[in-house]
Amino acid sequence: MIGGGPAGYTAAIRGAEYGLKVALIDSSPKLGGTCLHVGCIPTKTLLFNAEIWDHLKHAAEYGITGIGAPALDWSAVLTRKNAIIAKHVKGLEFLMKKHKIAVFSGFGRLTGPANGGVHTVDVDANGAKSTVKAKHVIVATGSEAKLLPGLKADATILTNVEVLSLDAPPKSLVVIGAGAVGVEFASIFRSFGTEVTILEFLPRVVPLEDEEISKELARVFRKRGIDVNTGAKVEKVEKTDGGVRVSYIDANGKAQVKEAEKVLVAVGRAGRTENIGLEKTKVELERGLIKVGEAQETAEPGVFAIGDIVAGLPQLAHVGAMSGMVAMAKIAGRKYRPVRRERIPSCTYTEPQIGSVGLTEAQAKEKGYEVKVGKFPFAGNSKATIVGSHDGFVKIVADAKYGEVLGVHIIGPQATEMIAEAVAVMELEGTVEEMMFAIHAHPTLSEAMLDGYAAVEGIAINA
Ligand SMILES: Cc1cc2nc3c(=O)[nH]c(=O)nc-3n(C[C@H](O)[C@H](O)[C@H](O)COP(=O)(O)OP(=O)(O)OC[C@H]3O[C@@H](n4cnc5c(N)ncnc54)[C@H](O)[C@@H]3O)c2cc1C
């Protein structure tokens, strides 16, 4: 295994569970990859801090008084985030030992095709060289942030790495790119009082989501005081005495300038495919990412690829982990189900949260389905009132002919938790009628799902 992020370490553990002898090579001394160190875990930690902070702003409304004006101790926020990361690194070290996985610290590089059915991977640990031999090699080297041409990350021009260890929340921040990473940081820093501007090149924020979800997020973000600009083409990013000046062409073709203390570049992620020996193999690339088959196998016999480095799959930790489990099952000769793109939940942990799976309304129509849609707003859900979070809705996209659920799109409280039900429904090819009679506990946010399914037939109870 080359790479010990969520894709690599999950595959390594599963391989050991299948009784295989596994070696895991990582160039970082601490396992966990992007997800644990500069991705999922630290961002969700800060988002939880932001959520508590937002609640404290309304403490009196919840009958909590006498706490005075709450103050933010940013260094304590960072200490907690770092402690969570450290705890999970220890957890991974424990799991590697438990499963007797041989961990190599160093940069792994394939030497070429297998020789007599055995592959060789060179490991370079700061000049100290060793080799690992194996029948199968899984490449899981992950990805890193793309920057705009001519830019270099530093204390002012930030990627997901630098932004996670700022001394203090910036007074103002321009976020370039409104995919999940961009909007999550916009949400975090807005909660902590930063003046946030979003510049997105495409016509809508979270452009991969259903159009109505994008509209709702933009509406709530604007309500929260975030300056959301879509159709904005960034032309230049220049340093100034106080920070940065970002020049862009707005959606009306007008030249605009935005000054801020910092800029976060969140325009996508490039696969780490360079310098790992792929050129000496038959492994095929597609726009810098590795092409794989249903079992994550590449065009080079015995070489598999999983996680962010794979072409055609979303760059998400759970996709990496599952693709690793699929590859290992194939290698061990066990049963597996290929990763299916339309069954992958997509979660954005902003305020409000987004959870979605399956086809958007537009995609379902494009595919030729006769589509029926049900939409239920959280404004009609009693638990949403209790938790004080009424923005958003549940949207169900169904096939009119057989009632099969084709897609579920949620924006609102706990959307990232609620989407798990929809994944199960879709995995089991459930129908709207079946779900209309699936009992959901009261009072729960999940009841909004029940009303959403009923809304497909125009008979939601609470709307
Ligand atoms: C800010 C941010 C927030 C995110 N939030 C979420 C989220 O909430 N949920 C979600 O599902 N996804 C999230 N993601 C995406 C998620 O982090 C990635 O999908 C995931 O980390 C990919 O896992 P991976 O194992 O493929 O690669 P990585 O996590 O990038 O790990 C690759 C590993 O390979 C090692 N490596 C690289 N090259 C070599 C080499 N030649 N030899 C040896 N080792 C090497 C690296 O050191 C690293 O440890 C987020 C990403 C970012 C940037």
Nearest to 351 by CA among 186, 171, 206: 186
DSSP state at residue 229: E
Query: pLDDT category, 4, cuts 50, 70, 90?
Result: very high
Contact between 453 and 432 under an 8 Å Cβ cutoff? The reply is yes
Q: Give the position of tokens 């125009």.
A: 458
- CA–CA distance, 392 with 377 (Å, rounded to integer): 6
Give every CB contact of residue 316 below 8 A, 6+ residues apart in sequence.
Answer: 344, 346
Which burial class, exposed, middle or buried, applies to 214 when counting CB atoms under 10 A from its CB (0-12, 13-18, 19+)?
A: buried
**352-397 pLDDT per residue, tens:** 999 999 999 999 999 999 999 999 999 999 999 999 999 999 999 9
pLDDT tens-place string over residues 18-75: 999 999 999 999 999 999 999 999 999 999 999 999 999 889 999 999 888 889 999 9
Pair 428, 435: CB distance under 8 Å: no
pLDDT tens per residue, range 197-242: 999 999 999 999 999 999 999 999 999 999 999 999 999 999 999 9
C-alpha of residue 197 to centroid of ligand 1, in Å: 27
Q: What are phi and psi of 99, to 5 degrees?
A: -95, 10
Within 6 Å (CB) of ligand 1, which residues are found?
Answer: 2-8, 25-28, 33-35, 39-40, 43-44, 107-108, 140-143, 160, 181, 272, 276, 307-308, 315-318, 320
| Cα–Cα distance for residue pair 403/411, rounded to 1 Å | 23
Catalytic residue among 88, 99, 119, 442: 442
Q: Given the CA of residue 307, which atom of ligand 1 is nearest to it? A: 26
- Residue among 102, 91, 85 nearest 12 (CA): 102
Sheet holding 233-239, edge to edge: 233-239, 244-249, 255-260
SS3 of residue 252 by DSSP? coil
The SS3 of residue 158 is strand
Give me the half-sphere count of Cα atoms (radius 13 Å) on the Cβ side of residue 218.
20
Task: Report the relative pairing of strands 172-176 and 157-158 from DSSP bridges.
Answer: unpaired
Which residue among 24, 40, 264 is best mutated to probe the pocket of ligand 1, counting the most ligand atoms within 8 A of its Cβ? 40
356 and 206 in contact (C-beta within 8 Å)? no
Ligand 1: which of 1, 28, 34 to mutate, judged by most atoms within 8 Å of the beta carbon?
34
Cβ neighbours for 313, distance < 8 A, ≥ 6 positions apart: 319, 323, 339, 341, 344
Cα 110 off chain centre by: 28
Report pTM.
Answer: 0.97
What is the sign of the dihedral through the CA atoms of 316, 27, 277 and 149?
positive
Which pLDDT score, from 0 to 100, does residue 67 have? 84
d(CA 456, CA 271): 40
Q: How many CA atoms lie within 13 A of 117 on its CB side?
A: 0
Residue 233, beta-bridge partner list: 249
Band (426; pLDDT cuts 50, 70, 90): very high
Amino acid residing at 314: P
Cα dist from 109 to 286, 331, 419, whole Å: 20, 20, 38
* Crossing angle between the packed helical segments 74-98 and 40-57, to the nearest 10 degrees: 140
pLDDT reported for residue 205: 98
Distance (angstroms) between ligand 1 centre and the Cα of 317 equals 7
Alpha carbon 442 to its chain centroid, in Å, reads 30
Q: What is the pLDDT of residue 374?
A: 98
- Catalytic-residue membership of 136: no
CA 121 to ligand 1 centroid distance, Å = 21
